[in-house]
Amino acid sequence: MSTAGDAEEIALFRETVRHFIDTEVAPHDQEWERAHIVDRSLFRAAGAAGLLVPNAPERFGGGGAPDWRFNAVLDDEFGRSGYAGEAIGLALVNDVVSPYLLECTTEEQRERWLPGLITGETIGAIAMTEPGTGSDLAGIATRATLEGDHYVLNGSKTFISNGQNADLVIVAARTSPDRHRGLTLLVVDANAEGFSRGRNLDKLGLLSQDTSELHFADVRVPVADRLGDEGDGFLQLVRNLPQERLSLAVMAVAAGEAILAHTLEYVTERKAFGTPIGSFQSSRFTLAELATEISVARVFVDDCVARHLRGELTAVTAAKAKWWTTELQVRVAHRCLQLFGGYGYMREYPISRFYVDARIQTIFGGTTEIMKEIIGRDLGV
């Protein structure tokens, strides 16, 4: 799948990501957690380090490496680090927003939008979910009406990651009553008249991630800022969702591995009745079960990455990876926290943050139930 040179380059990239986390994220994380938003400098620093849109062509300032393994390395290292709020902000740009701006755009649009995204001066978001519409993309009600050379956009979105920081927002809007062919993607400039941000939502976890409500009141969006043709939106979303779900799966497995490592360290040091708690049979069995499940998940996710590189990752396989690994992440966090006893409930221990940050994984990017529905339909039932 790779040459020795490729492997060396990816290993060097992994070291770059680790250094970036140590120097640009760790020192500021608690401040950003308290503020419930990362500073925009995080994205500029990521751009300077070459961590944003590494697969973009060099003519736009990208790394020119059309190899999703670089994205996977960033997802893996951030998932392992425990800095999930920052991880989601950067992964959103790399794995969710950038594919639309690379694959659904004209050369003129790419020239306008990609350079800023790559340097981190421009922060991107995508707005699909609405107050009354979750995983059902076909139920989107935000409307865009064509008037001359502009669309007039009206509606509201919620649970939008990077919502407070975003400069460009890809908005899924209804341009006709047709349930599937009636969706169109528009790129909205945050400075546009009629665009407003609601509150930065107060979440259980991912505290450093700005998750917001967005409102569009007669926002005039140039036709030149439409992605593809009118009515292409549903197909564009469906085509790109597998990569988003694979990104979440990569982070889930890495987080599970990190949680297990933290727990093993703790149970070998912590004693009860004069004996390390890890030596009790119940603890050993719990750890053995989790270690096995994580190993199985890692092999499956690595295979999914290989399939994605070959252009063979299907929506069904991505759904399997997403629901299984994220449910595993929640289960690992739950069972490992128990082994920490009362200390696991303390914020000073990383396990407590892994625990609360894991819970959203089975919800965003498509709930576990929606993933099972996708798989079930493919089975013909």
Q: Are residues 347 and 373 in the same domain?
A: yes
Q: What pLDDT, on a 0 to 100 scale, did the predictor assign at position 126?
A: 96
CATH number at residue 62: 1.10.540.10
The catalytic site residues sit at: 244
Percentage of the residues of the chain whose pLDDT score is greater than 70: 97
Q: Are residues 99 and 144 in the same domain?
A: no
The predicted-structure confidence for 243-290, as pLDDT tens digits, reads as follows 999 999 999 999 999 999 999 999 888 777 677 777 788 899 999 999
Q: What pLDDT, on a 0 to 100 scale, did the predictor assign at position 133?
A: 75
When divided into structural domains, the chain yields a total of: 3
Q: Are residues 103 and 83 in the same domain?
A: yes
Q: What pLDDT, on a 0 to 100 scale, did the predictor assign at position 182?
A: 93
The predicted-structure confidence for 173-215, as pLDDT tens digits, reads as follows 999 998 878 999 999 999 999 999 999 999 999 999 999 999 9
Q: Are residues 145 and 63 in the same domain?
A: no
- Rounded CA-CA distance 342/351 in Å is 11
Q: Are residues 243 and 373 in the same domain?
A: yes
Percentage of the residues of the chain whose pLDDT score is greater than 90: 86
Q: What is the pTM of this model?
A: 0.93
Q: What pLDDT, on a 0 to 100 scale, did the predictor assign at position 300?
A: 98
Q: Are residues 214 and 271 in the same domain?
A: no
Higher pLDDT, 273 or 90: 90
Q: What pLDDT, on a 0 to 100 scale, did the predictor assign at position 4?
A: 42
- Rounded CA-CA distance 344/1 in Å is 41
**Structural contact between residues 254 and 79, judged by C-beta atoms closer than 8 angstroms:** yes
Q: Are residues 250 and 369 in the same domain?
A: yes
Q: What pLDDT, on a 0 to 100 scale, did the predictor assign at position 279?
A: 75
Work out the pLDDT band at 22, boundaries 50, 70, 90. Answer: very high
CA distances (Å), 65 to each of 68, 88, 102, 117, 244, in order? 8, 22, 13, 16, 19
Which residues have C-beta within 8 Å of that of residue 125, sequence separation ≥ 6?
Answer: 92, 97, 160, 161, 162, 163, 165, 166, 168, 169, 170
DSSP 8-state secondary structure symbol assigned to residue 83: -
**Domain end (from 190, 213, 230):** 230
Q: Are residues 76 and 172 in the same domain?
A: no
The predicted-structure confidence for 344-378, as pLDDT tens digits, reads as follows 999 989 999 999 999 999 999 999 999 999 999 99
The predicted-structure confidence for 132-171, as pLDDT tens digits, reads as follows 776 667 778 999 999 999 999 999 999 999 999 999 999 9
Q: What pLDDT, on a 0 to 100 scale, did the predictor assign at position 12?
A: 94
- Rounded CA-CA distance 83/22 in Å is 11
Q: Are residues 243 and 374 in the same domain?
A: yes
Helix intervals (H) in the chain: 4-20, 29-35, 41-48, 69-81, 84-91, 98-103, 107-119, 233-269, 281-309, 315-340, 350-358, 368-378
Work out the pLDDT band at 1, boundaries 50, 70, 90. Answer: very low
Q: Are residues 222 and 347 in the same domain?
A: no
Q: Determine which helix (DSSP H) or strand (DSSP E) holds 271, and give its type and residue range.
A: strand 271-272
Q: Which domain holds residue 161?
A: 126-230
**Domain end (from 230, 263, 282):** 230
Q: What pLDDT, on a 0 to 100 scale, did the predictor assign at position 357?
A: 97
pLDDT for 5 beyond 70: no
CATH number at residue 290: 1.20.140.10
Beta bridge partners of 154: 143
Work out the pLDDT band at 323, boundaries 50, 70, 90. Answer: very high
CATH number at residue 209: 2.40.110.10
Q: What pLDDT, on a 0 to 100 scale, did the predictor assign at position 3?
A: 41
**Domain end (from 91, 122, 153):** 122
pLDDT for 321 beyond 60: yes
Q: Are residues 31 and 110 in the same domain?
A: yes
Q: Are residues 362 and 243 in the same domain?
A: yes
